[in-house]
A and B are shown apart, each in its own frame.
Chain A
Amino acid sequence: MLLREVGYARPGSLGEAIELLAADDGARALAGGQTLINVMKARAGSPDALIDLAGIEELKGIELRADGTLEIGAMATYTELVESSEARARPIIGEVCAQIADVQVRNRGTIGGNLCTSDPTNHLPPLMAALGAQMTIAGAGGERTVPASEFFLGVYMTAVGVGEVLTKITVPAGRSDGFAAVTLGVEGTCIASAAASVNGGVTIALGCVDAVPVVLHPGSVDEDAVREAVRDANLDPPSDVHAPSSYRKHLAEVLAVRAVNQARS
């Protein structure tokens, strides 16, 4: 497919990227392109300029701090997260990344792009919400940190504003996590998903049932408590060709239990 005419730049530093993004409100960051290129083909979006983040060292790498905190550069690919020995400090991250699409998409798609897309069917928004990740956003005015619970604002909308770049994702230490999904075919798009973390309290984040991940804190890991927390959330999920609202609502409860059971096992 021939794309609409578009400008392109490949800055070598974060500062330059921010300048280029701020200079034109029709400019968009380009990460792995595994969503954005399709969006452009479908003319669902037609940016004037693509600012390719691939040449920026500051956005790469996965670091494990002494206290167990993981710092993941926004441009880390799913494949890098699957293979990284540092990321194994929080094994669920690699496990979930290994379930996204296929080898080719995993080699290009990035954690930053996955989160910035804020597609309700994507795997990583509920996961990062359950893990209590912090997102670092840089812009002309400097840097700010936003918790995952405030990062996702709507379908395709996040706290990253015009002229800003998501630079890193900070995941606190912890190990007892789970993820469960019902997908279209093996490792396909999620029809419903749930991520859970049982490190201190219990946190569940449900995907595909609302515009942004629905975060719940059941009183305990017991199945009854988890089911009750999901029921009390009064979910009203969307219906589409893959599932009616009522089925998604049912799945949310079942998957929340499975994710919590994995987390506590």
Chain B
Amino acid sequence: MSTVTTSRSIKVTINGTTYEREVEARKLLIHFIRDDLDLTGSHIGCDTGNCGACSVIVDGSLVKSCMLLAVQADGATVETVEGLAHGDELNKLQQAFKDHHALQCGYCTPGMLMSATALLRANPHPSEDEIKKGLQGNICRCTGYWNIFEAVKAASE
């Protein structure tokens, strides 16, 4: 019989490293990632599930980590923006963001990159509409989206 507890020990593998930590049940996954593990690449924009800055991939599925408790991710494999580059070398998608000037302040970028990563993994050659639909959950206040769209398109070619 499982019991109700206000904290529990969880085991989460993030970008290949397995972390075991005691967390409070009320802790959001984004806070676990940023505050407990100091992986501050994933951002908190709205904290209401609207902006997508906190997007990460959990067991292969793109989610907003401000809309998930850390305890819900117990046993999961998580990918964050820190896992994209190969050492100091940007991956193809990140390089495309750089080449196409797909960021200004950069606040939305980690979420955009994770959404685009999930999109291109499921659909390596998306149509223009599919790119737009794949990024629908991510808000950017700076770029007008066009260069982000161009970058994802370039990375898919």
Residues of A near any B CB (own CB < 8 A): 1-12, 16, 19-20, 24, 27, 30, 33-34, 37-38, 41, 49-52, 54, 79, 101-105, 107-108, 186-187
B1 at the interface (CB under 8 A from A): yes
Do A38 and B48 have beta carbons less than 8 Å apart?
Answer: yes
Do A1 and B63 have beta carbons less than 8 Å apart?
Answer: no
Do B137 and A103 have beta carbons less than 8 Å apart?
Answer: yes
Do A49 and B24 have beta carbons less than 8 Å apart?
Answer: no
Least CB distance, B32 to chain A, in whole angstroms: 12
Do B67 and A37 have beta carbons less than 8 Å apart?
Answer: yes
The A-B contact count (CB < 8 A) is: 106
Do A103 and B47 have beta carbons less than 8 Å apart?
Answer: no
With A8-B25, A37-B69 known as contacts, the answer to whether A104 contacts B62 (CB < 8 A) is yes
Do A108 and B2 have beta carbons less than 8 Å apart?
Answer: no
27 A-B contacts, Cβ less than 8 Å apart? A1-B47, A3-B28, A5-B26, A6-B26, A9-B5, A10-B2, A11-B1, A11-B2, A12-B2, A24-B4, A33-B67, A37-B66, A37-B68, A38-B67, A41-B48, A79-B61, A101-B137, A102-B136, A102-B137, A103-B119, A103-B134, A103-B136, A104-B64, A105-B49, A105-B67, A107-B63, A108-B67
Other than A9-B4, A102-B136, give 10 A-B pairs with Cβ distance below 8 A.
A1-B47, A5-B24, A5-B26, A6-B6, A8-B4, A38-B48, A52-B71, A104-B55, A104-B62, A107-B62
Residues of B near any A CB (own CB < 8 A): 1-6, 8, 24-28, 31, 47-49, 52, 55, 61-64, 66-69, 71-72, 74, 115, 118-119, 133-134, 136-138
Given the complex, which residues of B lie within 8 Å of A11, measured CB to CB?
1-2
